[in-house]
Chain A
Amino acid sequence: MTTTVIDPATTTRTSDPSSASPRRSRRRGSGGGAGAYIVLIALALFAIGPLVAVVFNAFKNNAEIGTNPLAPPTSLSLDNFTEAWTRGDFATTMRNSAIICLGAVLGTCLIAGLAAYALSHLQVPGSGIVVGYLFLGSALPVQLFLVPLFFLWTQLHLVDNLFGLIVIYWATDAPFATLLLRSFLLKIPKDYTEAARLDGASDLQIARRVVLPLAWPGFLTVALIVALWSWNEFFWAITFIHDPKLRPVATSFLAFQDQHSTDWGMTSAAAIFMLGPVVLLFLVLQRRFVSGLTAGGLK
């Protein structure tokens, strides 16, 4: 989950592909057309085909999958979904994941928002070092701090504790979020905050009343990315949460799949529970996802 944002100079060039309008793409003469599209469609099938096969298999029984693993289902049975939902205890794990996502998003936005404000609108001596540390620190492999962190969390009774996991997500996601928000906040003219300060507003008031309303697209991007990562995250969750009742969907899905490793119909249905919300949200908010994930999400 550790994000890697190493080099501002080069990342900014790749930072926002969604802002480069596709319509700006270069006009081509003749000869581009059909051949290019054939390859593009082949690539699209390669990318999406496996996920389509999962959707197909979620509606099939295992006999049908065995004889015909890749074809569309012959009937639309929802048995796999209902069975996967109860056997996988998705009601519990979805709730756990919702708590984790919400906690991670709110905390990260607050922590990173405050830090980004200080790094963009306040004159803090040594802020350059902080920014450099945030860039460099996110390149550290988690293996470096995993074991002592686990030891520490055990001592603090934060293992098998949703809050303990959320705190780790704050720490690992906040550097990326801070850098991303900082780039948004730097676009807000200092005159605005100075004017508010002259009117006697405190920095907290300025942050809340002036900066936040102007920077909400940045916060929305951070919220989406942190929610996505928290929902998908697996490494910290499997290491720090062992109680099945506290597992988020990702690790619970993994355990479920190990248990029913030959029941492809049911695991496919469970997979749909997990990827469905993500893919739908992605399709609706594609630009925001792409810009957020490519800006700092080089993880």
Chain B
Amino acid sequence: MTTAVAGTAVRAPGAARARRRSAVIGWAFLAPLLVLNLVVVLGPSIATVYYSLTDWSGLGPAEFIGLENYTKAFTDPDVHQALLHNVIWFVLFGSVPMAMGLLGAYLLSQVRRFQVLFRALYFIPYVVASVVNAAVWKMLLSPTSGIGHQFGIDHSWLGDTATSLFSVNFVVDWHFWGFLAVIFLAAMQGIDPQLYDAASVDGAGRWQQFLSVTLPGIRPTMIFVILMTVIWTLKAFDYIFIMTQGGPAGSSEVVSTLMYKQAFNEYSAGYAAALGLSMTAITAVILAVYQYLRKKGWEDE
């Protein structure tokens, strides 16, 4: 490569040579990142496309079976149930932390004292490990030593098929809303204070100011967070896996936990690959729709 650079230097002026040199060095500097990504992320991702078309245990040779895994997924009641749980999860996870985050951020933007302290307290659950947060709430939701027990309600929140999904979702919402509050607060601090003054001169109350000034002011952030919520919903895994492992009786199973079990407990790695690829396809469609709407000016009116 160096000879090529030297060769061109004879004909080309110094600038071209420098550009060439810069490009070579630039790719050399990028190489570790790109090679690593190729080995860990991109290569295996492409392999998933192939394996999703095979019957494969995850260890031995894979047998090509065409689209069988996908037709199986379409009719698999476990997949249907998991998808339904993902939808429920999205509705809850897309509304509860959002509402709490907006409330916390709006009130914080209104006060002057202890703002930094409150912000820190709200943020702490987000930096604590999922395994620890899950353990804390397993204790607090336990029928023998939790909050319910304290008040005489010995209900097994995580052990009951009717409440397991909602209980895990509650814990995820709890650890997450403070993060949204901090993001929203930052966005709200970027709103021109004069807009509030104008609104209050017009006789707008606090609630009206929130609706007519605050929400439009943080609109790009809101839309971005909603998009991320969809992606996070499809990625929902940690807390479910730790707290209920999708149970009892599949009552808190989502697609990601189902896929993990297919791969590592059932040794249906080919089927798991098909599920993983389907999830990615859903994510891609959502991203594409988002980009399309953004281009059409939905975001910046």
Task: Please give the residue numbers on chain A whose beta carbons come within 8 Å of chain B beta carbons, in ascending order.
Answer: 2, 4, 6-7, 10-11, 13-14, 16-17, 20, 22-29, 32-33, 36-37, 39-40, 43-44, 46-48, 50-51, 53-54, 57, 65-66, 68-70, 110-112, 114-115, 117-119, 122-125, 127, 130, 136-137, 139-152, 154, 167-168, 170-172, 174-175, 178, 203, 207, 228, 231-232, 234-235, 239, 250-251, 253-254, 257, 261-262, 264, 267-268, 271, 274-275, 278-279, 282-283, 286, 289-290, 293-294, 298
Contacts and interface: CB of A to CB of B under 8 A. Distances in A.
B63 interface: no
The 3 closest A-B pairs by CB, nearest first: A17-B186, A124-B26, A171-B40
B10 interface: no
A168 B103 CA distance: 38
Contact of B45 (A115, A125, A140, A151): A140
Contacts of A254: 131, 135, 242
Given A141-B283, A293-B127, A43 B122 contact: yes
A142 B276 CA distance: 8
Given A14-B186, A274-B132, 10 more contacts: A115-B33, A122-B26, A122-B29, A124-B30, A144-B279, A146-B263, A147-B44, A147-B269, A274-B129, A275-B129
B108 A251 contact: no
Contact of B26 (A22, A127, A136, A257): A127
A7 B224 contact: yes
B163 to A, nearest CB: 18
Given A115-B32, A154-B59, A47 B125 contact: yes
B153 interface: no
Given A43-B104, A141-B279, A118 B30 contact: yes
Contact of A143 (B30, B183, B279): B279
Contacts of A232: 127-131
Interface stretch (B70-78, B86-94, B189-197): B189-197
B228 A46 contact: no
Interface of B: 19, 22-23, 25-27, 29-30, 32-34, 36-37, 39-45, 47-48, 51, 58-59, 100, 103-104, 107-112, 114-116, 118-132, 135-140, 142, 144-147, 149-150, 174, 178-179, 182-183, 185-187, 189-190, 193, 196, 200, 220-221, 223-224, 227-228, 231, 234-235, 237-238, 241-242, 256, 259-260, 263-264, 269, 272-273, 275-277, 279-280, 283, 287, 299
Nearest to A207: B29
A150 to B, nearest CB: 7
A47 B136 CA distance: 12
B120 to A, nearest CB: 5
A70 B150 contact: yes
Contacts of A148: 43-45, 47-48, 51, 273
A48 B287 CA distance: 35
17 contacts: A6-B228, A26-B196, A39-B103, A40-B107, A40-B111, A40-B114, A48-B124, A69-B146, A114-B33, A123-B26, A141-B280, A143-B276, A147-B58, A148-B45, A148-B47, A234-B130, A293-B179
Contacts of A24: 189
B236 to A, nearest CB: 10
Contacts of A11: 224
Contacts of B146: 69
A229 to B, nearest CB: 10
Contacts of A66: 144-145
Contacts of B140: 50, 53, 69
A124 B131 CA distance: 42
Most buried by B among A136, A143, A144, A235: A143
B128 A275 contact: yes
B234 A10 contact: no
A29 B163 CA distance: 44
Most buried by A among B22, B109, B223, B264: B22
Nearest to B227: A6
B132 A275 contact: yes
A283 B120 CA distance: 7
Given A140-B280, A170-B36, A13 B190 contact: yes
B116 A22 contact: yes
A228 B26 CA distance: 30
A148 B39 CA distance: 11
A110 B260 CA distance: 32
B30 A234 contact: no
Nearest to A43: B104
A43 B109 CA distance: 15
B139 A37 contact: no
A54 B142 CA distance: 14
Given A114-B32, A271-B136, A139 B186 contact: no
B284 to A, nearest CB: 9
Contact of A36 (B107, B147, B231): B107
Contacts of B110: 25-26, 28, 32, 36
B107 A124 contact: no
